[in-house]
Amino acid sequence: MTEHNEWNGSLFACFDDCETCIYGYYCVACLFGQNAEKIDGSNCCFMSFMYYSLAAVFCHWIPHYFKRTTLRQKYGLPQDPNCPDCPATAFCSPCAICQEARFLKQQEQNNTNAVYTTVSGAMPITNQPRTAH
């Protein structure tokens, strides 16, 4: 998908979705794994473990940087000129992961609504004529 989109919130708009914010605060590695799975089908558990393990040596931002870049390319999202991907993932990783989760959540809702509209619009309910025997 190469269309141009916008983020549905700034990097520091964590409280726009308190549920995601709390989840990201208590288990940022788990939220990263879920995001990675939604972005490109990566294994959620493996990505969570990798993020958690690399955080011990402050290298968690490396896989996060690549997943964020993939997400932006997939949805045509702009890179924030004030806080590009590298510093966002290295120094503001929990906030960036929450921003990505909010965006992916909105995309899922949009896709669900689009599928529902398409199905309900394409398949009208009709009655079959009865035939006499």
pLDDT digits (tens, 9 = 90+) for 86-112: 999 999 999 999 999 999 999 999 888
pTM for the structure as a whole = 0.82
> Is 102 a member of any domain?
yes
Tell the residue number behind the tokens 């989760």, with chain if given.
101
Q: What are the pLDDT digits (tens) for 33-67? A: 999 999 999 999 999 999 999 999 999 999 999 99
Evaluate whether residue 119 is within a structural domain.
no
In a domain? residue 123: no
Count of CA atoms in the C-beta half-sphere (13 A) of 8 = 16
List, as one string, the DSSP characters of 60-108: THHHHHHHHHHHHHHHTPPPPSSS-HHHHHHHSHHHHHHHHHHHHHHHH
Can you tell me the distance from the alpha carbon of 4 to that of 73, in angstroms, rounded to the nearest whole number? 9
Q: Is residue 9 part of a domain?
A: no
Q: What's the domain count of the chain?
A: 1
Q: Per residue in 15-28, pLDDT tens?
A: 899 999 999 999 99
How is the chain split among helix, strand and coil, in percent rounded to 5? 65, 0, 35
Q: State which residues form the domain around 68.
A: 27-110
Average pLDDT, the chain: 88
67 lies in some domain: yes
d(CA 100, CA 111) in angstroms, rounded, equals 16
